[in-house]
Amino acid sequence: MNMHTETQLTPAESALADAFAKRLSDLPGDEAVTLQRDAAMQILKRGLPTRKVESWHYTDLRRLLNVVPDFDRTGAPEAVPVLIDGSLRMVVANGRAEAVKAPEGVTVDRYSKLLPKGELSGGLATYDGDDTVGAINTALVSDGYSIAVADGAEIEQPIELQNVHDGGQSHTRLAITVGKGAKVTFVERQTGKGAALVSSVGSLKIADGADVRYVILQEQPDDVSHLGQFQAEIAEKANLSLFIMNVGGKLVRQEVRVEMPGEGGHFELRGVNLLAGTTHNDVTMVLDHSAPDTTSTELIRNIVTDKAHGVFQGQIRVAREAQKTDAKMSCNTLVLSDEGEFSVKPELEIFADDVACGHGATVAEIDHAHLFYLMARGIPEKEARGLLVKAFLAEVIEELDDETLVAVLEQRLEDWFEQHG
């Protein structure tokens, strides 16, 4: 299979086409899956998106993803210690899911076992012609997990999904359904060693009245391109709290696509992006309030230093019938260096007439008066700056309301600041 575009292919585009061609025979999948893959490949054939494509305006993927490493599945990357003690660990290493014993109330299948069965093609559909992350993943996905939490199950043990690599390429899927009234916490870890292209798509369907906490911690090394997509559908009176922390990677795009088709559903997004070096980190959210009485809050806090560039695009769409929607989005950034940069694009698209929606964005430096006050009390400059950075993020992290998690994430912040502050 060859890619034909009007312009010359970039090395990355050629590599993706080659990867697909070479691996076609060993990618599992029934006929429907193969058709999906071909369709996805059509999207890629047009070439990677440039800044001319609206949703990629601040992240010129064609320019930024210029090299893609070959597949190399010879290594055996090691899993990492779990974030919350006592969690059930499920590991996908270099795109291969390990067998796992699920706790009561949870059913787990390996994605590679399901792909040839002809049941998954729908789940592999891309959103639209711009869904580049979905297309790359659909075309190349090799494994992952399918997880079902039973109706009414209250799973106390957090489930930690680790996607680890030791270089090369890894394309993983997580497909999760949470039954009516169930309660569960998921932690998604994205990490590894060595230069890599990682794509990871997770989908979460939450049934009526269920309550889900989902934490994504992305800590790729600084020679990794990471393309993540998180999809969720929130049914009636169901609740989803999503926390995303990005601390690493060379090029990171984390997409969040949430649909709220159930009355009285609630969604919370809390995001912390710690950006240093030359990293380019893009969090792009599209949120659909499509039923009445749905509520959401989105709060993103960013620290940018060195020559890092951060992006947050947040689009909230409120359908005509989604009356009484209450949605509040804010994105605040602290820039610590002269060359750090952050781009924010909030968008509200409202078709209902009785809603409360708002957004706000700020980009600021450390307040010199605050810094002076702390230093005048004998706190050395670096420590004083650290206190102020921690204070800036405290609201978002402490809101997690889970002491272990708060402590672990604060430690991550301290380590990061120690190295980059």
Is residue 366 a contact residue for other proteins (CB under 8 A)? no
Is residue 406 a contact residue for other proteins (CB under 8 A)? no
Residue 43 near residue 131 (C-beta atoms within 8 A): yes
Pick the closer one to other proteins by CB: 1 or 391: 391
Cβ of residue 127: shortest distance to other proteins, in angstroms?
Answer: 37
d(CA 319, CA 234) in angstroms, rounded, equals 15
Stretch that binds other proteins, among 43-51, 94-102, 323-331, 363-371 (CB under 8 A): 363-371
Is residue 351 a contact residue for other proteins (CB under 8 A)? no
Find how far residue 164's CA is from the centre of its chain: 15
Pick the closer one to other proteins by CB: 189 or 301: 301
Is residue 364 a contact residue for other proteins (CB under 8 A)? no
From 361, 379, 400, 406, residue interacting with other proteins (rule: CB under 8 A): 379
Is residue 208 a contact residue for other proteins (CB under 8 A)? no
Pick the closer one to other proteins by CB: 99 or 369: 369
Cβ of residue 337: shortest distance to other proteins, in angstroms?
Answer: 18
Cβ of residue 399: shortest distance to other proteins, in angstroms?
Answer: 12
* Stated length of the chain: 421
From 338, 381, 415, 418, residue interacting with other proteins (rule: CB under 8 A): 381
Is residue 373 a contact residue for other proteins (CB under 8 A)? yes
From 133, 155, 344, 384, residue interacting with other proteins (rule: CB under 8 A): 384
Stretch that binds other proteins, among 50-58, 187-195, 342-350, 373-381 (CB under 8 A): 373-381
From 35, 76, 125, 391, residue interacting with other proteins (rule: CB under 8 A): 391
From 378, 401, 403, 419, residue interacting with other proteins (rule: CB under 8 A): 378
Is residue 377 a contact residue for other proteins (CB under 8 A)? yes
Is residue 395 a contact residue for other proteins (CB under 8 A)? yes
Interface contacts to other proteins, rule CB under 8 A: 368-370, 372-381, 383-384, 387-388, 390-395
